[in-house]
Structure 1
Amino acid sequence: MNIKTANRLCELRKAHNLSQEELAYKLGVSRQAVSKWERSESSPDTDNLIQLAALYNISLDELLNGSEAISLIEENKVVKEEDLKKEIILNSSTKVILGGDEASVIYDENNKIDLTIKDVLKWNEKIKVIDNMVMSISAILFTAIYLVLGFTLNNGWSHFWFLFILIPVPSSIVNMIARKNINLFQYEVLAASIYCALGMFFNLWHPLWVIFLSVPLFRLIAGLIMKHKTNPKQDVIDAYYQDIEEDD
């Protein structure tokens, strides 16, 4: 693909107020692939060309300036998929290979899992939506409880403000379960809430500070547990955004 066509793809994307990441999500490819198209380092395949034309509501000829459309489709017949592949090393035992709209997660060189980037991105977006919804519900619910207790109890206003500290805890539980990662649980926030509540109600400020000593213990245990847990989808997400940061 020539530089003129690459520039046109870039201009069309910007004209529709899309970032490379947003366009990649709509097409079900990696952000790296879109970046390579716009730098004339590789070419979108025929299916992606058709998707781009439909997305921008123009014909294939308009997308690629006439004859270039035919030559590019022919060119795609001999494009090697390996040209788009990039290896991202997450840790000593995990690496992810991103290529086009496919991703492979390799654990210890003997356990390979193949995934589709589009499906993984949809999975990630679904969790984000649920997380934001739970966070909003928590904020509304805890605020409502605080107001009710404040108006009905003598010490309601001064004793129940710790409820606001608890707001991120439910969403962290959702994230922990959905992403299968106990490290995402906001244990520190829960510990602080318990400390404040028992301190205000029972004046246990002094002996109860030891609850904070459990925080590093929790993180240590969580880290040990996660060493033996794998989540291929989350590994692809981590590699995907790491690749974006490296390109930037």
Structure 2
Amino acid sequence: MNIETANRLLQYRKENNLSQEELAEKIGVSRQAVSKWERAEASPDTDNLIRLAEIYGVSLDEMLTGKKTQAEPEPEPQPEPQTDESNTGSFEPDPDTNYTQYDKVSFKKGIHVESKDGDKVHISFKDGVNVYEKHGDKVHVGWDGVNVNEKGKTRVYTDENGHVMVDDEIKNAHRTNSHYRVLTRFPFWAIALAAFLAWGFSGLCFGWALSWICFFSIPIYYSLIDAIFKKNPSHFAFPVLAVAAYIIFGYFGICGGWAFGWIVFFTIPIYYCICALIKKEK
């Protein structure tokens, strides 16, 4: 069953003020079966389709396709004209203004919002909160539990015993995000400051003249964590590492010292070219 038909079944049930349990009892099926029909995870058989059409008072063709075969609905009553001259015409559109249809909002039996892009939100005391995303993702929170459907796959749901069941992929992603938050909130700057003071006071390896390079490790640490967890090497502060390497080469005479150590800066564009190739390959 496609998502449009499933949405119509859900809407018809709400318009008839029926809960999933009440509808299931009328048809002679389980509540879970009705829930799967309305989430497009299963399709009712022919007998159940006919029974649904009879309960909702619509034709089978209208229920499946959305095309009305019955008489046109009565036009909505027009608002009575205002008697107060100061308010006369205050609710009438300006004839000289061009209007464009945008989102649809209704407060009949709850709060119902439908955007022009196809996203829908239905909130009511009886049926709970239902969110429909235009690409097919759905979220339901109600008396019967929680159900989150992403790209046709149920990610979160409530079983018959009331336990909330979560897809392992979401659990692993949450665990990864927890590790990321811990590492990014770690006060690495305090370690860099302590290293700077210890190096300076010790007088080793040029002492205060070079110990300030410890502060270069702060952006290197945080950008490295970001690059690893987001799987994007371009987030790493490679230019800072190149500058630190140049300074160390100069002070310690490595690779020609100051005279040739500047060659390390050529590695910066090479690094980002490699990052671009990796991103393109992905």
TM-score (norm 2): 0.42
Larger radius of gyration: 2
TM-score (norm 1): 0.47
